[in-house]
A and B are shown apart, each in its own frame.
Chain A
Amino acid sequence: MDTQDSLSGGLDSNLGLYDADASNFDARLASDSMDVEDGGGARSSTRVDGNFGADDSDQALATGDEDEGDDDDGDAATDDDLSVLMRAWVNERSSPEILEYEGAAMENLMELVDFQTQKMATQPSALGNILKMDADRVKYLVRSYLRTRLSKIEEHARHYIKDVQYRERLSQNELEYAKGYVELEERHARRSFLDQLPPHLRGLDDVTADGLEMVSKPDLEAAVFCRVRSTVGEFQFEASEAPIVMKRNNIFITRYSIIRNLLEDGKVELI
C-alpha cells in the first residue's frame, strides 16, 4: 500500500494520480490479497456519522404499490458533503450554464481524504485497501467535477468573466483560469490575423445593430432532464398552459430556463 503525499499541496497535483476514467476503479477493486481481521478499535474521528444511503435510496426499493405515496419525508436537508458534491457534479454535467461552486463541500471532503490517507498507512492492508478505495472515489469525483467546470468555463470564458452573476459563481482559481484563457485566446487571434485587419474589425466582443453578439453565451433554453427532489406542487411550465403538479421523484424533460430557479433552490436535480 503506497502512502500518498499530503493533499495540502493543491488539489490538482494529487488528483493527477487518477485517470479521468471511472473504469479505473474497477481495476482497483482488484483481488489483491487481503488479510482478514483486526482494524483497531474506535479511532478518533472528526467526521459526522452520516449514515450513507439514507438520502435517496427510499425510492429504490420498488414494492408492489405503484403509488408514489406522497412521501415527502426526508427533505434532503441532511445531506452529507459527498452527496452534495455528487449531485453538484451531475447537475454541472447536465446544465448548460456554470453553476454555483461547491467550495465548502469540496474542502471538507479533501480534508477528510487527507485524514483518511494518513490513517490508511497505519492500517493492515485489508482495511487499508478499503480506505484507499474510498478516498480514491472521492478524489475521482472532485477531479471530474473540477474538470467539468473547466470545460464549461472554456466554452464561454469571455461571458463568465464579464457578467457579475457568473463571476461570483467561479472560485478564485477558476476566475484566474478564465481570465488567462481569454487573454491567451485574444493574443493568439491578434497575432495570427486580427492585427492585419482594419481597426474597426478587430473587436472580439462587438454587438451588431440587430443585437447579435460576438461573445457566446450559454443556451439557457436548452433541453434538460430533471427529477423533483421535494414536492413543488403546482408549477407553471408555460404561461399559456395549465400548471402541472410536480411531486417528488417525478421526471421531466423541459427547458433549462423553466426549472432554473427550482434547481437553485435544490427543489429539483438534473439527471
Chain B
Amino acid sequence: MAISTRQTEGFTMPELEYLAQSESITIVPLHRMDRVELVRGVVGPFRPPQKTEVPLWLAVMLKRTNRCRIVAPKWLAFEHLRDLCRREEQPDAMFTRLPVHYLEIAHMLLTHAEDDLVEPQGIRRLLQDLREVRQSKTHEGLRMLNSQQLQMDNLSAAEINEIRPLFRHSFDMLRQLDVLASATEESQQQSQFAENSYSQMDDAFGADYTH
C-alpha cells in the first residue's frame, strides 16, 4: 500500500496542518538576520522591529526559539471572532468568510504563540462556538443534498475534510437511487425489466449499508 486507507478518504490532520503552514503570516523579528532564500522565494531581511511576512512554518520555528513575535491575523482577534459568531448564529445566515485553513492556523498559533494573542482563552472559546454553529449548519446542508450539486461557500479545508466521508457516501447513494428511479420509470411498461431493477436496488442498498 502506497498510502494508508485513511488517506484515501481525505486528508489527515497533520497533512492539513502541512498545507496551512505554507500560508504567510506577519512576524516581528527579535533578532537581526539577513534575507533567506527559500525554495518558494526570499524572506526577510529581518530587522527588528520591522514587521515582515514569512510562511507559517518559519514563524513557528522562529517563535519556538524565541526569535520572533507573531502578529495575530486580523480574523483571529477576539472582537472579530465575536462578530463572526453573532453573524453566524443568525437564522439563514450563510457561512461567514474565514481563511481556508483558519482552524489549523488558529490551532497552531494557540499552541505555539499563545502569548502573542490577546485573550487567548476567549479566542479558544469563540472558535469552539464558531465551529459548533458551523457544524450544525453543515449538517442542515445535508438535507439539501441532491445528486447534482450543492454549493457550500466559505467552508474551510478542515470542515470539508470532516464532512467528506458522510457527504460523499450520501451523494453517491442519491446518485444510485436516481439511476434506479429512471430505470424503474422506463421499465414500467416492461414488467420483466422491473423485476430486474428491483433486485438491482437491493444490491445497491446492500452495498451501501456495508459502509
Contacts and interface: CB of A to CB of B under 8 A. Distances in A.
B151 A80 contact: no
Nearest to B73: A61
Contacts of A133: 57-58, 61
B149 A90 contact: no
B98 A253 contact: no
B99 A39 contact: no
B86 interface: no
B67 A249 contact: no
A251 B11 contact: no
Among A52, A57, A113: residue with most chain B CB under 10 A? A52
B202 to A, nearest CB: 18
Interface string A72-108: 0000000010110010001001100000000000000
Nearest to B11: A93
Interface in B79-133: 83-84, 94, 96-100
Contacts of A29: 57, 60-61, 64
B152 interface: yes
Among A34, A49, A140: residue with most chain B CB under 10 A? A34
Nearest to A47: B37
A109 B11 CA distance: 23
B33 A255 contact: no
A60 interface: yes
B57 A66 contact: no
B150 A60 contact: no
Contacts of A173: none
Given A137-B18, A148-B2, A150-B2, A25 B100 contact: no
Contacts of B168: 222-223
B188 interface: no
B41 interface: yes
Contacts of B73: 60-61
B22 interface: yes
B67 A36 contact: yes
Contacts of B207: none
Contacts of B40: 50, 52, 80, 82-83, 134
Contacts of A2: none
Among A112, A223, A237: residue with most chain B CB under 10 A? A223
Nearest to B155: A251
Range for the number of chain B residues in contact with chain A: 35 or more
Contact of A41 (B19, B34, B157): B34
B24 A251 contact: no
B23 A60 contact: yes
B160 to A, nearest CB: 5
A165 interface: no
Interface string A191-221: 0000000000000000000000000000001
Nearest to A253: B150
Interface in B23-44: 23-24, 31-43
Contacts of B96: 62, 66
A22 B15 contact: yes
Among A57, A90, A109: residue with most chain B CB under 10 A? A57
Contact of A252 (B17, B32, B38, B149): B149
A252 B153 CA distance: 7
Contacts of B41: 47-52, 80
Contacts of B164: 225
A132 B3 CA distance: 25
A66 B34 CA distance: 39
28 contacts: A21-B14, A22-B15, A31-B64, A36-B31, A37-B33, A38-B34, A39-B34, A41-B34, A49-B42, A60-B100, A82-B22, A82-B40, A93-B10, A112-B39, A113-B39, A116-B37, A131-B38, A137-B18, A141-B18, A148-B7, A223-B171, A251-B153, A251-B155, A252-B149, A253-B145, A253-B150, A253-B171, A258-B148
Interface of B: 1-4, 7-8, 10-12, 14-15, 17-19, 21-24, 31-43, 53, 55, 57-58, 60-61, 64-65, 67, 73-75, 83-84, 94, 96-100, 145, 147-155, 157, 160, 164, 167-168, 171-172, 175
- The 4 A-B residue pairs whose C-beta atoms are closest, nearest first, are A53-B24, A223-B171, A151-B2, A150-B2
